[in-house]
Chain A
């Protein structure tokens, strides 16, 4: 096991991959968005109930690599109860973590994805669920595809 891969597959990621949180359809959802990564076939559906500006509940399903599934799982635990603006800010932090490997001190679990930055091909895996969630929040019915944004 090389050091690089231990960085990529942190315990938090392995745990979320093996025991995903908030997995499945959400019967009370009023927003749904689908994300896919055409280059590898990863898919992620995000279901959420938006109460005004706040995410009252959220779930996801789909299939993909450990990075994409763990990231979507962790994302659902972090954004529940947050406002749209808070989720946006959180995604900006996450995006910085996976593209630069640098994590702000106050951030804990998301920092597990810092190792992704050394594997540029996997950045899209890490951000797939987040993009789907943001699309669901913004009510964008279009399928999110990783080919249409830069990460």
Chain B
């Protein structure tokens, strides 16, 4: 492959140009958070240096500029995911808060006998909130199984026939698994959920920056993602919800900015999105998230998907040659990350070693404890790729892994 896919892309990321322990930084922890291009950093600086003001409240020039930029970003993000209406974009702190908003809203609606369906590969953030709702409402939480000893078979779609009953009110699933790199057939899952009247909630944290996400083509009811995994700042994310549904749901937080009128006894809510954005929002980061959308669209999201998936494929192929390695997730058709384990060297030792070679990896359970337990693992090492990574960096990774195995006497 041409490496990198965009000859000057690395120049856009100031952070990449440093050494770690005397070695050039190789950042392969993009599943945890992506690095930020200059244009996103500039958007933050510009806002604080020129436009900083509260939104929706002031009649002065700065407040109007801030409001325009904030609402402009909402419109930009709506376009980024092809939402029908900017009002369907609710700014949150991230994926976790977005899923919690949906879950808490449904806590008022679900009742015993109702079923919440999730999958065995969900991140804790798309599992624990549903456990809490099930506990609070008496609804039952069920999981679509993951197939194969190494979860290489993806979701058990045949089991959906029996699991997707009319009792299922919510079907929550991830687009791309943060541990397995499985790319779920989200359109099909939404179609089958719709057929039984279940609403769909998609965790798009690992897909939003890596592949085109079109909420209307997917046909989902809700979709959650974080800005920081798509070159945006931390502390900002999005809950997308179909307008008709959002206006049915009550707020999860109340206060200023989300009310139409207030008396000493009661208050009336604004419609979405304001209903879900009580208090002064995270204006600067929301604006910078719009800049991140511009950046990714300029690179081309189909090209990003091709680049990341190719690195995932290449890493899978090259890591497979290491003695004793166990790679989990699908063998082909995977997203741009690889999780693996060695029988005799723990992931944390691997990560400490790789760090000395300037390589940033993640080691642990990746917020997938039940899945790890099912696979008989306590932790894996994960290398996750993004637009600025190269095939050469994968060669350095594999060489580092060889040295680690040798050091621990495992090869």
Contact = CB atoms under 8 A, between A and B. Distances in A.
Contacts, number: 56
Contacts of B21: 2, 4
Interface string B11-45: 00000000001100000000000000000000000
Contacts of B290: none
B378 A41 contact: yes
A26 B256 CA distance: 61
Interface in B181-224: none
B364 A9 contact: no
B403 A125 contact: no
B356 A65 contact: no
Interface of A: 1-2, 4-5, 8-9, 14, 17-18, 39-43, 63-67, 69, 119, 122, 125
Contacts of B365: 40-41
Nearest to A40: B364
Interface in B305-361: 344-349, 352-353, 356
B346 A64 contact: yes
Given A43-B378, A64-B346, A65-B349, 12 more contacts: A1-B403, A17-B408, A18-B344, A40-B363, A40-B365, A41-B365, A63-B346, A65-B346, A66-B346, A67-B348, A122-B348, A125-B348
Given A5-B352, A40-B364, A66 B379 contact: no
B349 to A, nearest CB: 5
A8 B363 CA distance: 18
Interface residues of B, number: 22
B353 A41 contact: no
B353 A5 contact: yes
Nearest to A64: B346
Contacts of B403: 1
A39 B364 contact: yes
- Of listed A41, A63, A119, residue having the most chain B CB within 10 A: A41
A119 B352 contact: yes
B178 to A, nearest CB: 15
Interface string B218-243: 00000000000000000000000000
A41 B369 contact: yes
Q: Which 3 A-B pairs have the closest CB atoms?
A: A65-B348, A65-B346, A41-B378
Nearest to A4: B356
Contacts of A119: 352
A122 B346 CA distance: 13
A122 B352 contact: yes
Nearest to B406: A1
B353 A63 contact: no
A44 to B, nearest CB: 11
A67 B351 CA distance: 13
Contacts of A14: 408-409
10 contacts: A1-B403, A5-B353, A9-B349, A18-B408, A39-B364, A40-B364, A63-B346, A65-B348, A67-B349, A69-B346
